[in-house]
Amino acid sequence: MTPKKHLSRPAPGRASAAIARDLLRLVRQHGGDPARILREAELSPLAPSLLGPSLRDPQASRAPLSHAQFARLYAHCTWALDAAAARQEGREPLTKLGIDMLCHCVITTRTMRDAILRADRFALLLGPRLARFDLMVEDGVARLRMATQRQHRNACAYLSDLTGLATYHRLFGWLIGESIPLLRVEMRYAPLLGATTTAWLMPHAIHHDAPENALHFPAACLDRPVVRSPAELEAFIAAFPFDLEQPQSKHMPLSERIARLLVTTLASGEPLPTAARLGQQLSISIATLKRRLATEGTSLSLLKEQARREAAARLLADHRLSITEIAQRLFFSDAGAFRRAFQRWHGRSPTRWRTVARTL
């Protein structure tokens, strides 16, 4: 029998080389040296596939990086790009020590609301290196705005702010021991990164050109108690915030773990895994997989449909993508099959949904 503690681990994600190339491209555009980034991330052997002429090969662009490899690459690219953004703004760059100290400050808070307030005071201490918070609650929905002081709104700043949104979402979720459901994610930029890369870093539909960067979530989460202890913190911050597979929930249901895996799989441009493949990743039989999902009131087919539905909303928000391109990214047989599925999900066509969403 597989040990229970093994089953509690999330399935490992694999980011495609296309996402790594997107990050390295930004580094080059803002004066960095991608080859040096790869050396510092201990990924020099991957340089031919990430920087060389093989990038013209579609198969090479889909080659996956391991979970640990991508976390290292993401960390080094983010620090390089935040340093570039700091030079643009004439400020000191944020450091890993700053992130770690933020975590130490909030670990002793009582509730998520307290953690947000203390994080805001810590941001005040660090000045423009961290965003200040503005928390509002209305009709059961909390809106957490993260007001940055950036004057430049380029792709470099976009990545820094997107990473900031994802970092706080995962930090607060980890503190309360559950994944915080996001009702809406807003960014004050146009979509300046590739849709696949954006979806990998923030697997939620993003509404661009908003007044400010913000997360919307159920207000009930604010009163959730902090269930983590200082003893758990050191292991958590070892790879935080770049280990995107770190579980937030203390007791993450199997359905939640699979749902996260399906979302990230679609975001990386890979087809959704079969039950046999999932069983291999989770070290359980297909029969056990189906039985446990049924116990949790769902099934693999329902989770796959949910992942496609969420991905469709995210991709439709990018008006540069045609309906046919979105259908291909979601692995529908053709645009007609996608339209029929979307009509069943939302009661309207994807074109109509996109038109209505643009007016909101």
What does the pLDDT read at residue 15? Answer: 67
What does the pLDDT read at residue 3? Answer: 34
Residue 280 banded pLDDT, cuts 50, 70, 90: confident
Residue whose C-alpha is closest to residue 11's, from 228, 262, 240, 242: 262
Helix (H, G, I), strand (E, B) or coil at 144: strand
More confident: 68 or 3: 68
Residue listed under structure tokens 């004057």? 151
CATH (residue range 254-360): 1.10.10.60
Residue 49 banded pLDDT, cuts 50, 70, 90: confident
What does the pLDDT read at residue 318? Answer: 84
What does the pLDDT read at residue 279? Answer: 84
Residue 7 banded pLDDT, cuts 50, 70, 90: very low
More confident: 15 or 107: 107
Helix (H, G, I), strand (E, B) or coil at 65: strand
Per residue in 82-130, pLDDT (tens digit) is 888 888 888 888 889 999 999 999 999 989 999 999 999 999 888 877 8
What does the pLDDT read at residue 214? Answer: 96
Per residue in 55-72, pLDDT (tens digit) is 444 444 455 678 788 889
Q: What angle do CA 234, 104, 120 make, to 5 degrees?
A: 145
Instruction: Give every CB contact of residue 328 below 8 A, 6+ residues apart in sequence.
Output: none
Ranges of each domain in the chain: 4-252, 254-360
Per residue in 283-329, pLDDT (tens digit) is 789 999 999 999 999 999 999 999 999 889 888 988 889 999 999 99
What does the pLDDT read at residue 11? Answer: 36
Residue whose C-alpha is closest to residue 41's, from 239, 336, 291: 239
DSSP 184-230: EEE-SS---S-HHHHHHHS-S-EE-S-SSEEEEEEGGGGGPBP---H
What does the pLDDT read at residue 204? Answer: 86
Q: Kindly report the pTM of this predicted structure.
A: 0.71
Write down the mean pLDDT value for the chain.
85
**Among 17-31, 48-62, 206-220, which stretch is predicted with the lowest mean pLDDT?**
48-62
